């Protein structure tokens, strides 16, 4: 059966154009920093993000964890949102890779309250307390439903970080979506942070890879650490070509994915047996609550009808739109939702 796959935007496959770019990529040994395509990708991404330097890494998790590692010492603490990816979905690696702990705080649609953040920062004289070292933000916020973190909120949090001598990290796996939805450039968002991690392999459609960016000094340290963690790659320009193609061709089109998510959200909002918080519908992620069946029953029933969803947080179902699901398929998925919850 040909499913309409709304489980994640990570399921996207390289397009014909991207495959051509991969096939034609010039390559070299990236451990010697001699891969011309990867070097071009890193320079291009650093320019897009307005940072001195950028580094290609195999995944978003490695991107986040490298950044947290180079900003901290063992025993330090990261302040983050309770539903953050770094807290929930990175296999406890802050502890295992860096010896650091996370201090999660409940946010509002993914946004941290700057006053609450400031109130939990441990004073520097208190040598017996965990050292608060980094504030981390996620934009868009996956588990909050793809919500966009406002620039105002980010600037307030940055002010708290600067005032208290903390570093500021952005998990921008879907920063592209935030930028397209808000009209604020990724550069403007990134300018607030010491380190930024962005994904190429989600809505942008590349098969592998993320980029981290920051100062030359921090990225040099990340380059060393990436090798130490087994992430040194050889002819990685094969992947770099896909990343460059994604950055040059697939950012603006994300607005279509947001339109598709809105079409589905409006259907869910109109049926009696499902609930959705329309305020959280801002980009390509939807979380909805089935009222006439459980989350697992919903996922199984939808599968029988040709649509794939995944479980969301607590008692919700998650749907994510992306470049491999057409408007026509979205219309079909909407009909399935009407049938299940109407
Ligand atoms: C917000 C966020 N950060 C980081 C990641 C990790 O990315 P990867 O799966 O490439 O390791 C994800 C993946 O879904 C994510 O949603």
Residue 289, domain CATH? 3.90.1150.10
Ligand 1 atom closest to the Cα of residue 62 is 11
The verdict on 223 and 311 lying in the same domain is: no
Pocket test for ligand 1, best of 202, 207, 284 (most atoms within 8 A of CB): 202
* Span from the CA of 273 to the centroid of ligand 1 (angstroms): 31
The verdict on 92 and 168 lying in the same domain is: yes
DSSP states of 227-273: HHTT---SSTHHHHHHHHHHHHHSSTTHHHHHHHHHHHHHHHHHSTT
* Span from the CA of 341 to the centroid of ligand 1 (angstroms): 30
Ligand 1 atom closest to the Cα of residue 141 is 1
* Span from the CA of 126 to the centroid of ligand 1 (angstroms): 34
In a domain, 215, yes or no: yes
The verdict on 117 and 177 lying in the same domain is: yes
In a domain, 4, yes or no: no
Q: State residue 231's pLDDT score.
A: 97
The verdict on 237 and 287 lying in the same domain is: no
Q: What is the CATH number of the domain that holds 153?
A: 3.40.640.10
In a domain, 2, yes or no: no
Q: How many domains does the chain have?
A: 2
Picking from 249, 278, 308, the residue at the C-terminal end of a domain is 249
The verdict on 213 and 281 lying in the same domain is: no
Q: Enumerate residues 6+ apart whose C-beta is below 8 A from 141.
A: 81, 83, 84, 107, 109, 110, 111, 147, 149
Q: State residue 313's pLDDT score.
A: 87
In a domain, 8, yes or no: no
The verdict on 58 and 143 lying in the same domain is: yes
pTM over 0.95: yes
The verdict on 171 and 279 lying in the same domain is: no
Q: State residue 75's pLDDT score.
A: 96
Tokens of 117: 């953040």
In a domain, 132, yes or no: yes
The verdict on 24 and 137 lying in the same domain is: yes
Ligand 1 atom closest to the Cα of residue 201 is 10
The verdict on 103 and 206 lying in the same domain is: yes
Pocket test for ligand 1, best of 89, 169, 196 (most atoms within 8 A of CB): 89
Residue 30's alpha-carbon distances to 98, 142, 236, in angstroms, are 25, 32, 7
Q: State residue 25's pLDDT score.
A: 98
* Span from the CA of 242 to the centroid of ligand 1 (angstroms): 18
In a domain, 302, yes or no: yes
Spans in the chain with pLDDT lower than 70: none
Ligand 1 atom closest to the Cα of residue 210 is 10
Residue 190's alpha-carbon distances to 93, 318, 341, in angstroms, are 24, 28, 41
In a domain, 191, yes or no: yes
Picking from 230, 249, 268, the residue at the C-terminal end of a domain is 249
* Span from the CA of 178 to the centroid of ligand 1 (angstroms): 15
Structural domain span for residue 163: 14-249
The verdict on 223 and 258 lying in the same domain is: no
The verdict on 179 and 296 lying in the same domain is: no
CA dist., res. 211 & res. 195, Å (int): 10
Picking from 249, 267, 300, the residue at the C-terminal end of a domain is 249
The single residue listed with the structure tokens 């699901």 is: 325
The verdict on 260 and 182 lying in the same domain is: no
* Span from the CA of 241 to the centroid of ligand 1 (angstroms): 21
* Span from the CA of 338 to the centroid of ligand 1 (angstroms): 31
In a domain, 5, yes or no: no
- Name residues contacting ligand 1 (CB within 6 A): 59-61, 64, 85, 138, 142, 171, 173, 199, 201, 210
């Amino acid at each position: 059966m040909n499913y309409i796959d709304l489980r994640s935007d990570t399921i996207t496959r390289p397009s014909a154009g991207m495959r051509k770019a991969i096939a034609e990529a010039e390559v070299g040994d990236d451990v010697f920093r001699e891969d011309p395509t990867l070097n071009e990708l890193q320079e291009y991404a650093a320019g897009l993000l307005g940072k001195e330097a950028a580094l290609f890494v195999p995944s978003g998790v490695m991107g986040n964890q490298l950044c947290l590692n180079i900003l901290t010492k063992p025993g330090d603490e990261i302040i983050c949102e309770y539903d953050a990816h770094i807290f929930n979905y990175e296999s406890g690696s802050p502890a295992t890779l860096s010896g650091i702990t996370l201090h999660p705080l409940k946010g509002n649609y993914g946004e941290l309250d700057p006053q609450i953040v400031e109130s939990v920062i441990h004073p520097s004289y208190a040598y017996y307390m965990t050292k608060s070292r980094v504030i981390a933000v996620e934009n868009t916020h996956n588990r909050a439903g793809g919500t966009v973190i406002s620039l105002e909120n980010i600037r307030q949090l940055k002010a708290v970080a600067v005032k208290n001598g903390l570093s500021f990290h952005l998990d921008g796996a879907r920063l592209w979506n935030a930028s397209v939805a808000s009209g604020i450039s990724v550069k403007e968002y990134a300018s607030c942070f010491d380190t930024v991690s962005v994904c190429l392999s989600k809505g942008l459609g590349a098969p592998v890879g993320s980029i981290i960016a920051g100062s030359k000094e921090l990225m040099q340290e990340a380059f060393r650490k990436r090798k130490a963690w087994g992430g040194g790659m050889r002819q990685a320009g094969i992947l770099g070509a896909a990343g460059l193609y994604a950055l040059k061709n697939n950012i603006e089109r994300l607005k279509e994915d947001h339109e598709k998510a809105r079409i589905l959200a409006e259907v869910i909002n109109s049926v009696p047996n499902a609930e959705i918080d329309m305020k959280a519908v801002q980009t390509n992620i939807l979380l909805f609550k089935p009222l006439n069946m459980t989350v697992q029953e919903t996922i199984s029933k939808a599968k029988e009808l040709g649509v794939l969803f995944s479980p969301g947080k607590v008692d919700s179902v998650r749907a994510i739109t992306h470049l491999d699901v057409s408007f026509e398929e979205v219309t079909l998925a909407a009909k399935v939702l009407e049938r299940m919850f109407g």
